Structure 1
Amino acid sequence: MGTTSSLSQADRYVAVHDSARFQTLRRQAHTFTAWASVIFTGWWFLMILLAAYTPGFFRQAVPGNLNVGLLLLLLTFAMVIVITGLYLRYARTVLDPAADVIRADVEGAAR
Structure 2
Amino acid sequence: MNTEWANFAAERSVLGGAAPFIAGVVVVSVLIGALWLGARVRAREPRRPFPEEQPKLPEGGPVREEQANREPDEIPQSDYRLTPYEVHGNQGTRPNPDKKRPRWSKNSSGSFGSGGLGAH
Same fold (TM over 0.5): no
Which has a greater percent of helix? 1
TM-score by structure 2 length? 0.29
Name the larger-Rg structure.
Answer: 2
TM-score by structure 1 length? 0.31
Q: Which has the higher contact order (CA 8 A, sep 6+)?
A: 1
